[in-house]
Structure 1
Amino acid sequence: MNAATTLLILLALMPFTASNLFAAEYDLVIANGRVIDPETSFDQIVYVGINDGSISAVSEQPLRGTKIIDAAGLVVAPGFIDVHSHTPTLLGQRLNLLDGITTQLDLEAGSFPVTFYGEHFRAGAQINYGSSVGHWAVRTKVIEGRSMPYIFAGKDVLKMNGATWLQTATEAQIEQMRLLLNQGLDQGGLGIGVLLDYMTKAVSDAELRMLFEVASAREVPLYIHVRRGHTGDPAGLIEVIDLATETGAALFVCHITHNAMGRIGDWLQMIDEANRAGANITTETLSYAAGGTSISADVFRRRDWRSIFDISYEDVQWVATGEWLTKETWEKYATEQPGGIVNHHYVKEDWVETALQWPGMMVSTDALPAIDINLPTNPNVAGTFSRVLGHYVRDRKVLDLNEALAKLSLYQAQWMEQASPAFKKKGRIQQGADADIVIFDPQTVAANAVYGDPYLKPTGIIHVLVAGTQVVRHAQSVEEQSPGIKILGPQKLSF
């Protein structure tokens, strides 16, 4: 970056006179850090001044602050945004923050009513959070006549074995779903989440088209776990690309690496071709190489999962104990604990690397619920983002640091602007942006969480701020304040 370009960026980031800038005292100043703003490609050692939860100044000259964080030798970047999480819990929040995540969203499963989402944050949240309108929850209300607002609610845990997951809807039921989906969007849902693969035989063409029609009419994204075929068969992707193209709905394809498998390059090429033709489609990848879901999921109950994933019983872990399964233990758990979670190990490293290099790729956790430190889950909740920075940036050099940071924050914020104007101020280190910030050591950052020991915090994530409030200090949780907010859509009341 030449001097003239640097000056122009600094002027854009700092609409102040020099005298006002240096005379001001800020609530908090981050000093001497390498500040990276992925949107402008700004990358320089400067000072960041924060007031009232927002970035007020980015300066080459020292700034005065009531509080100072010395970030010498560290990178100062936008707080990470996880658009695919299933752990809006106090434990999940703490683990996410220690991994640099400042905004946690459940967009694949979602909730209904959206007003319920964030049950564990009623007394306040340290992290920003939000959800889509969950099609499955709407379907439960219509098909089964009962409310299940989230994948866990109180002591009730979702089991994917009722009529919601198996029964085809009538035309009248589809129209009832349409009304409830609009109601959820009116409540501030950040689009529509569709667990299509889990109800692959139940959802008709008419019902799926209705989902795209609602998303298009309301100008919000759909987040879809597409129907899964054998070893990367793209039929499920083609189905949703065609509907997105026909209706104009924005489409987010969930965890593409896990569905495309060895055909990840082909799947990404199909998305590129659709976008060149005018579609609005994006996708995400995880950084850990296993899938995690209920043992009662449709793919395990009704389909030849060993052929689909090209694995066997011995490649699957029972999450609660970490044990590797056999045919006998699989059948025992499936019968006795149908709500239990398994990790099925089938994703290859080169699939993830191919996905990460796709322009616009986002990284997400797909973290399963972390409710109690004595109840194991998958390691995604504690190490997804630090794993990208340590393993894929520093060690394997799959990405450079600036591009990686865009995939951890900026691209999510830009995409989510379609769902809520709040995201226009996230994913950036710029004057006026929200002071959601992660400060890390690029030389040491690394994930430590692994399958079987999922709650180990990462190395090298030093400080984390949410709305200018420090929630991680010297790699330790700070639980003094609750600066997080529930992020809502525009709540258009036109339906």
Structure 2
Amino acid sequence: MDGTPREPAACRPPAHGSGSDGTLSNNAYDLVIRGGRVIDPESGRDEIADVAIRSGTIAAVGAIPAASGEKALDASGKIVCPGFVDIHAHGQSVAADWMQAFDGVTTALELEVGVLPVAVWYDRQRAEGRVLNHGVSVGWIFARKAVKAGIAPDPELHPMEMMGQGAGDEGGWASAVASAGEIAQIQDILSAGLREGGIGIGIPHGYAPGAGVKEMTAVCGIAAQAGVPTFTHIPFMSNTDPQSSEEAYVRLIGYAAATGAHMHVCHLNSTSLHDIGRCRELLLHAQGMGLPITVEAYPYGTGSTVVSAAFFADPEFPKRTGSAYGSIELIHNRHQMRDRDDLLGARRADPGALVAWHFLDLERNDGHRDLLDLSVLYPGGAIASDAMPWVEPDGSLYRGAEWPLPRRLSSHPRSAGTFSKFLGDYHRKRGKIGLREAIGKCTLIPSKVIEGCLPQMRRKARLQEGCDADIAVFDPETVAARASFTDMTAHAAGMDAVLVGGTPVILDGTLDTQARPGRAVRGGRRDDEP
């Protein structure tokens, strides 16, 4: 992000006239956002200007004459920028969309885990209606479960519920190497999912660490041939060899070099643990050699996943990760694990239960804060939330649509405040990054991860004439995350307005609970939604 102005990537020319004084004429716009500080990371634009919207598109940016009867939003003193693009969002529900809208997100994609079957998932989102733009990758781990354990993907289940299936490692789906015949079957399933519109291949390898190099090169080969990214959770999470995080990243770099596949690193912060510095150096060196590798992180030292994750059950877990079992707690009831037996009991009781893992102690350890900074401020790295679903007190997933969200619900605080926390902490409070660069890490950088296979994304993550009117308007002095592990349903502060395809989801800080403007972001074929 060097600030050099650039031409728009693929936005249509605007449909407006220009007066002799250089002002832009008003042609019955649907909405004009007036007097805000307009920031567009791609073009380098950073100035006080008006933004006019017509038919879901940004029709004009500049000095727009007022017109009688126009619908206008006063953005004086506010930032007007592209809506945030979250390429790692597991919530995928109306309730999750609402919380992410207050975090400035307009496009929320489930790419690390993915789904199966892909077409059925997209059909369901269309039928039920979504607040934010949405999309998914093809779920490698579900193909593996189907082939090795006979666990057929169940479209009635949420992907996080499907992750908890087969916690007993039936058929060795998590621990065993696949045969040549099984690899071929997995490849067929993944290829079919890409044809159905999957945005690349989700590879949560850490949940099936037994998958070998031959299988991974075969899977990456499919991605390379199709010209789509892989979204990878590395197989090993440990500070010690063998099977350390560093070894896992060396493998990932090797897959990029050997197959040509675009390897996207999911949550560098949580998978590197205390070895973030060294893992970061390896990735930067690989990128410097021209390998197709991209990186994301979120600004928390606490991760979240299902209790059945394979790495928790490792008898050497405390030694290998530097974390005691007490660092793992069930999200729905805040129960902290006493020991390995307690953990294994929780796995047997509900393998899909969500847990929080406090792998860094940011309150008492400045060195841990420095480690997190290395991942969050990774050069050219994206911010991505890894937002989790909302769960009931009994651990079941919430499928309702109440607002405000009932306080009985729980999730990781990042599900409510990742981008706002990044802007509030790293830009305003700590001065670690400039505002335009920070916005770029939330918009343009994540969008570019997938634009190569999704041309429609070139109309998003930009505040330019002709681009989609996915827009966030926020107060730079108050934007902040408010959610915590003691108040999980507190939505983020500072978002005055959030528009998805030109439709206000939030206006004057108030949520429109009836709005469902979200549209599918879909690979493989054109977006066939209106």
1:362 aligns with 2:382: yes
TM-score, normalised on structure 1?
0.92
Total equivalences in the alignment? 485
Residue matched to 1:342: 355
Q: Aligned partners of 1:292 and 1:133: how far apart in 2?
A: 21
SS in 1 for 2:251: helix
TM-score, normalised on structure 2?
0.86
Q: Which moved more, 1:87-96 or 1:265-274?
A: 265-274
User: Any conservation in 1 of the 2:89–2:109 contact (CA below 8 Å)?
Assistant: yes
Residue matched to 1:393: 427
Residue matched to 1:135: 140
Pick from 476, 488, 495: which aligns with 2:510? 476
* Cα RMSD, aligned residues only: 2.4
Match runs of 1:403-414 below 5 Å: 403-414=437-448
User: Any conservation in 2 of the 1:98–1:476 contact (CA below 8 Å)?
Assistant: no
Pick from 448, 452, 467: which aligns with 1:433? 467
- 1:331 Cα deviation from its structure 2 partner: 4.5
Residue matched to 1:18: 18
**Shift in CA distance, 363/399, structure 1 to aligned 2, threshold 3 Å:** same
Pick from 261, 266, 281: which aligns with 1:254? 266
Match runs of 1:48-447 below 5 Å: 48-64=51-67, 66-117=70-121, 119=124, 122-149=127-154, 152-153=157-158, 157-159=162-164, 160-163=167-170, 164-201=173-210, 203-231=211-239, 233-327=245-339, 329-347=342-360, 348-370=368-390, 371-372=397-398, 373=406, 374-447=408-481
User: Any conservation in 1 of the 2:5–2:44 contact (CA below 8 Å)?
Assistant: no
The residue type equivalent to 1:283 in the other structure is V
SS in 1 for 2:71: strand
SS in 1 for 2:417: helix
**Shift in CA distance, 63/243, structure 1 to aligned 2, threshold 3 Å:** farther
User: Any conservation in 2 of the 1:116–1:149 contact (CA below 8 Å)?
Assistant: no
Q: Aligned partners of 2:159 and 2:258: how far apart in 1?
A: 40
User: Any conservation in 2 of the 1:76–1:438 contact (CA below 8 Å)?
Assistant: yes
The residue type equivalent to 1:94 in the other structure is W
User: Any conservation in 2 of the 1:435–1:467 contact (CA below 8 Å)?
Assistant: yes
Q: Aligned partners of 2:506 and 2:374: how far apart in 1?
A: 32
Q: Aligned partners of 1:242 and 1:155: how far apart in 2?
A: 29
SS in 2 for 1:132: strand
Residue matched to 1:43: 46
Q: Aligned partners of 2:255 and 2:100: how far apart in 1?
A: 34
The residue type equivalent to 2:516 in the other structure is S
Q: Aligned partners of 1:184 and 1:288: how far apart in 2?
A: 32
SS in 1 for 2:36: strand
Q: Which moved more, 1:319-328 or 1:392-401?
A: 319-328
- 1:213 Cα deviation from its structure 2 partner: 0.6
Identity %: 31
User: Any conservation in 2 of the 1:27–1:50 contact (CA below 8 Å)?
Assistant: yes
The residue type equivalent to 1:281 in the other structure is I
- 1:98 Cα deviation from its structure 2 partner: 1.3
Gaps of 5+ in 2: 361-367, 391-396, 399-405
Q: Aligned partners of 1:47 and 1:336: how far apart in 2?
A: 56
SS in 2 for 1:283: strand
The residue type equivalent to 2:319 in the other structure is S
SS in 2 for 1:245: helix
Q: Aligned partners of 1:429 and 1:79: how far apart in 2?
A: 9
The residue type equivalent to 1:226 in the other structure is I
Gaps of 5+ in 1: none
**Shift in CA distance, 270/416, structure 1 to aligned 2, threshold 3 Å:** same
- 1:294 Cα deviation from its structure 2 partner: 1.4
Deviations 1:215-268 (A, max 9, x none): 110010011101224226410000010111121111101101112233323222
